[in-house]
Structure 1
């Protein structure tokens, strides 16, 4: 309380740092723009002043929440849940269906993006949905909770498999690259060891000797 009062008097903002436990209450009814970070991350440290400024800009907004999640502390479970794999990772949108932010990261760019955020299509804002999404919402609302949970698990498993397959593919490419690189180095060394250096030395010596005649 005292810290918040002092910050307010100094015209500073108190960072909104979320954890898995505080997420639902803090984000309820809002569109979010969240930075997932690690304290040791250099890029995170560089971005912090602009992100803090953005949080100050939207402090008290009834529609948009700008927040932090520390992936090394109380927010780790939330970071794992939303698939954070690098730092800083920015995500936005419906708190229950975050999207990856891939835009620029200067203050002007993130501020402009945040100003374009607002209420989005969802169960609490059906009027913002197109007919197809309204129909889906109605179908999902009519389902038993257990069926929705089963569907969520199935789709998340599908996503995990796609990500796992991609990781395996990339690791395969990396292995092929390393093997090709090692073979190249070995073959180049073999050519050089076959007398290339001596050949070049003799050739240079011969040219120099002829030039001196």
Structure 2
């Protein structure tokens, strides 16, 4: 009986840790696979809501040779992974080559997630799967491979800066639009208030009364 209890406890622990990715196991777990990852925080309400469907998805792909569904706790051992992947909110879902993940913006029901995973978590063109690349991508990979580490780092930084600048511009413009909206809304409210205070209501009441008088005549 004691042995059975220990066995069940071990099985439960293994299930609880299934799909958990950290800085220590990232390379080993994701090597050669196309992945779908949930970056989360345990206290996040939306993360808690998504958990049952996400755990079900992890189970559906458990043991898959070329696809992996994973969890990264951004408040624990997975924090460096979250920082490296630019995670700013929870939960953040990303997919693709482990070295270059893309944001997932689709629906988050189990059926939608499963459909996306079935259609997209396949071996894709990458330096580790170069045989899946077309001629243009192979040439691009060859060009980047030939670059020195310093030049490659500089090129990556340049492109990431473009993304960062675009995000900053978007946020700044949204703030400007918000201020413009607030100013226009205030002007509209003030004009409406002035018009009403100028006697518009009484004008309409007098007009209605006059119309009644004309009908009586």
Q: TM-score range by the shorter chain?
A: 0.7 to 0.9
- Judged with a 3 Å threshold, the aligned counterparts in structure 2 of structure 1 residues 170 and 118 are, in CA distance, closer, same or farther, namely same
| Contact 1:7–1:14 (8 Å) recurs in 2 | no
CA RMSD of aligned residues (A): 3.0
Which SS does the other structure have where 1:78 is aligned?
helix
| Gap runs ≥5 in structure 1 | none
Instruction: Find the counterpart in structure 1 of residue 125 from structure 2.
Output: 121
| Contact 1:38–1:44 (8 Å) recurs in 2 | yes
Instruction: Find the counterpart in structure 1 of residue 167 from structure 2.
Output: 163
Give the TM-score of the pair, scaled to structure 1: 0.83
Instruction: Find the counterpart in structure 2 of residue 86 from structure 1.
Output: 89
Q: In the TM superposition, what are the counterparts of 1:173-188 in structure 2 within 5 Å?
A: 173-188=177-192
Corresponding position: 1:143 with 2:147? yes
Among residues 42, 57, 65, which one is paired with 1:54 in the alignment?
57
Q: Deviations over 1:74-103 (max 9, x none)?
A: 434433432334332211000111112122
Instruction: Find the counterpart in structure 1 of residue 104 from structure 2.
Output: 101
Give the TM-score of the pair, scaled to structure 2: 0.82
| Gap runs ≥5 in structure 2 | none
Which SS does the other structure have where 1:68 is aligned?
strand
Q: Deviations over 1:34-57 (max 9, x none)?
A: 112233433322211100000111
- Judged with a 3 Å threshold, the aligned counterparts in structure 2 of structure 1 residues 71 and 175 are, in CA distance, closer, same or farther, namely farther
Which SS does the other structure have where 1:67 is aligned?
strand
Q: Quote the Cα distance in structure 1 between the aligned partners of 2:39 and 2:22.
A: 11
Among residues 27, 30, 35, which one is paired with 2:30 in the alignment?
27
- Judged with a 3 Å threshold, the aligned counterparts in structure 2 of structure 1 residues 92 and 199 are, in CA distance, closer, same or farther, namely same
Q: Quote the Cα distance in structure 2 between the aligned partners of 1:59 and 1:9.
A: 15
